[in-house]
Structure 1
Amino acid sequence: MGNEKNQDGTTTTTSARRTRANGRQSRRKIIEAAAAVAGERGYEGTSIAKVSKASGLPASSIYWHFKDKDALLAAVVEEGVELWLAKVTRASGESMPDRVVSLCRGVAATLSESPDFIRLGLMLALEKRPVETAARELYLRLRVEATDSLAAQLLDMRPGLSPEMAEELAVYAFAGGDGIFLAAQFGEVDVDALFAMHARAMIHLIDGAAG
């Protein structure tokens, strides 16, 4: 059996490395299954049993990684938001129009690549209950952080904007993305074309607000 020397002088066996790799793979399968189940059924309709069935892993494996359903869905939200932020808050391009188009393309790509997460996020935002869930609380907090990040980018693009107007434009930009996603749930729509239109509208609004 092969051994690997660690920085602290200890050794890691091949079987230990394989165990860690299998653990990461299992965690990935669980998160993906939870996102699919919750994206279809919402928070209340999701259960460890349903995630177990969707992932093909026993409930004991799920509980080994996550304390309960709320912790699992919070992990789904955290991972999904990180992917989403990578797409929607890192604009490329020299000019303001190029950067706005880049942002809108990023959102469109996220809708195509991670529809279950987007659906789950919107469901969590709309589901209010007496006791706040960790998943919903995390989603709302990260959404605010994403809005603030976009507002900062808008101020960088157009220093003439007031901070208040930049914040309103950022909120509007994300609201437009939400609306396009919902439209896609109701029937066949050209998501890319709608986001191109959204980009043109945002460019017009930004120029008007900065003028």
Structure 2
Amino acid sequence: MTRRSHAHQSTPGNEKAILDAALTLAVTAGYEGTTMAEVARLSGLPVGSVYWHFNNKEQLFSELIEYCFKQWKVDHTGPTNRDLLRRSIAGSAGGSVDPENRAEAFWVLALLFALEKRLAGNLAREKYLQVRKQMFELMVERVEPQVPASVLKEDPSFGRKMVVLGRALTDGFYIAASSGDEIDFHEFADLSASAVEALIQRRAAEIERKIGGSEQ
């Protein structure tokens, strides 16, 4: 269905109401259980207005991923790598079990898009995969400045490797949270951060010994 030019008025308020309604339904009913009719009911807008803003559910979820990504970029900041990892594990993965934390709970559903091969070609899945790549590059930009220059000189990809490790940890804790595992996410966030810091420090120490040995 194509967007109509006069039947409904497009306003930022209406679009936000639709996206908020879709987000609420997505984290409770999932992708399959979310319908355009229910989005309209929850948003308080006519179903025609929902279709006027978004051609179909795929497009709606695609825009919803971008909507949540904007908040993710604001939230995932911090002065140290420990803060970033704590935010990812305790804030995001841990927060995803809180029904009030809809934006974080939504990323569990988004992660399932990547795992669900039958959705290959789905507009929302493709959007998530695209956003996931952007998330990765943003985290690299935030992590690399905190890696010792000597380490990056020896291994320019080391910062990216730390982001891969951090993402793997976060994804694992997302799955643990959605599976109902009883975990103190703050404790494990700190343990994970300590492990990553130890890896960086060990690598820096190895390079320092190597340089020291070559100068003798």
The reply to whether TM is greater than 0.5 is yes
Specify every segment of 5 or more residues in structure 2 that has no aligned partner in the other structure, as ranges: 1-8, 96-100, 206-216
Correspondence list, 1:110-189, <5 A: 110-111=92-93, 112=95, 113=101, 114-129=103-118, 131-158=120-147, 159=149, 160-161=151-152, 162-185=155-178, 186-189=180-183
Kept after mapping to 2: 8 A contact 1:87/1:109: no
Residue 87 of structure 1 corresponds to 75
Residue 86 of structure 2 corresponds to 105
Residue 16 of structure 1 corresponds to none
TM-score (norm 2): 0.74
1:208 to 198, 202, 207: 202
Q: In the TM superposition, what whole-angstrom CA distance separates every residue of 1:140-167 from its partner, at most 9, and x where no partner exists?
A: 1121122122223333212213233322
Larger RCO (CA within 8 A; separation ≥ 6): 2
Q: In the TM superposition, what whole-angstrom CA distance separates every residue of 1:91-134 from its partner, at most 9, and x where no partner exists?
A: 21xxxxxx012212332334423233212211211122365122
Aligned length: 184
In structure 2, the CA distance between the partners of 1:144 and 1:131, relative to structure 1 (3 Å rule), is closer
Residue 192 of structure 2 corresponds to 198
- Please say which of residues 194-203 and 152-161 is displaced more in the overlay: 152-161
Amino acid corresponding to residue 51 of structure 1 in structure 2: V
Residue 14 of structure 1 corresponds to none
Tell me the C-alpha RMSD between the 2 structures: 2.4
Specify every segment of 5 or more residues in structure 1 that has no aligned partner in the other structure, as ranges: 1-18, 93-98
Q: In the TM superposition, what whole-angstrom CA distance separates every residue of 1:22-60 from its partner, at most 9, and x where no partner exists?
A: x33332222122123223444333321232233343311
Distance 1:172 1:150 in 2: 12
CA deviation after TM superposition for structure 1 residue 194, in Å: 1.9
TM-score (norm 1): 0.75
Kept after mapping to 2: 8 A contact 1:87/1:110: no
1:59 to 47, 50, 63: 47
Distance 1:165 1:115 in 2: 28
Residue 3 of structure 2 corresponds to none
CA deviation after TM superposition for structure 1 residue 80, in Å: 0.9
